[in-house]
Amino acid sequence: MWLWCSLSLALACGGPSSGSPAGDTTAGGEGDTAARPSGPPSSFLGEEVRVVARLDMARVRRSPLATDLGSAIRGTEAWQRLAGTSGVDPVADFDFILLGADALYTDRRVAVLRTPHTEAEIRARVLAMAIDGGAPPAWREVEGFSVVSWPNRGSVPTSLVLTGAHEMVLAPDDSLPRILAVARDHAARRNAPEDCIEPRMVARSPAEVSTVLVDMPLPARAGYPVPPQRTRVELDEGASGATVVAIHAEFSNDPEAEAAHAWATSQARAFASQPLVRMTGMNRPLETAQFALRGPALDIGAAFTVEEMRRLLGLMALQQMAR
C-alpha cells in the first residue's frame, strides 16, 4: 500500500514536464544591487516542512499526456476544494507548482506557483474562484505586496500573495510575515523581474517532471509491511515521451526493507499475471520493474510508455470518481 501511495502522490500532482520555471515580477519591485543580500536565498517553505512536491507544469503542457494528466488532477478532491468549478486549469494556468506541508494529510500547506499569466489575468482567475466560492475578493497591499484572502474550502484561513511577476504564494494567514520576508529577500536578489529565486524550484536533472519528498513515515496499514521512514518519488521524461519512475524508500532497519522488498516483488508478479492487467497491456511495466535492496533502503524503478501512462492516469481518474 505504501508503494501505491508514493506513486499516486507523484502522479496525482504531476506528469511529464520540461525546463525550469519561468516568470516576471510585479509585486515587491526589482532587487537593488547595492543592497543585494548575501548568502543563499531563503525558501518560502519553512523548516517544519516534511512533505515537498515539485511539479513542472510547463513541461507537462508540451507532453502528449497533458490532457490526460489535467483530467486526473481535476478529478482529485484536493483540486476540487481548491478551484471548484471556476475553470482554472492545473496544466494551462501554471508553469511550475511547489507544494510543502508539515504532514501528509493536512489543510495547512504552502504552494509556490509560477504562471504564464500577467497580474491582471491572475486577478481575473482569483475573481472566478471567489465567485465560485460565493465571496468576492478584497485585495489589499501589505508591505508592498498584493494580498488577498483565498476562497478555499479547507479549514485553515489562507491568503494568496503576488510575490513577483508570474509568481504567487498560497500560505496560511499566520505564516504571512515569514512569506513576506522571503518575498523581500527574493526581490532584492533579482536581476530581471521574471527571475525565479526560490531554491526548492531548482530541478534535480534536465529530465525532471516531478519529485515528491516525504521526510516522515508513510501511513501504516494492517496486513502490509512496515512503511518506510522516508520516501522519495521521482518522475523523469525518458526517450519517446516515456515516463521513468524511481522510488527510494528508507526503512528503520534491514529486516523491514527486506520484508518490503519481498512484498513488493511478489505483488508486482501477482498483478502482472492477472488477465485484466495483461489485457490492458499494463503487465509490461510490472514485469520489467527493477527492485534493489541497499541495506535498509529499497529502490524501485519502472518505465511507462505514453500509452501505458494514459491507461494509468485513466485508472487514477476513475478511482477519484469512485471516491
Question: What pLDDT score was predicted for residue 23?
Answer: 39
Read off the pTM: 0.85
Question: What pLDDT score was predicted for residue 106?
Answer: 87
d(CA 11, CA 245) in angstroms, rounded, equals 10
Distances (CA, A) of 80 to 87, 93, 197, 321: 11, 15, 29, 12
Question: What pLDDT score was predicted for residue 296?
Answer: 98
Question: What pLDDT score was predicted for residue 303?
Answer: 95
Q: Cα-atom radius of gyration of the chain, to the nearest Å?
A: 20
Question: What pLDDT score was predicted for residue 171?
Answer: 95
Question: What pLDDT score was predicted for residue 167?
Answer: 96
Per-residue exposure over 271-289, b if at least 16 CB sit within 10 Å of its own CB, e if not: ebeeeeeeeeebbbbbeeb
Sheet holding 109-114, edge to edge: 140-142, 145-149, 158-164, 167-172, 109-114, 96-101, 51-55, 208-214, 230-237, 243-250, 297-304, 290-294
Q: pLDDT below 50 — which residues of the chain?
A: 1-26, 29-33
Question: What pLDDT score was predicted for residue 323?
Answer: 63
Question: What pLDDT score was predicted for residue 69?
Answer: 85
Question: What pLDDT score was predicted for residue 282?
Answer: 92
Question: What pLDDT score was predicted for residue 257?
Answer: 98
Question: What pLDDT score was predicted for residue 321?
Answer: 67
Question: What pLDDT score was predicted for residue 152?
Answer: 62
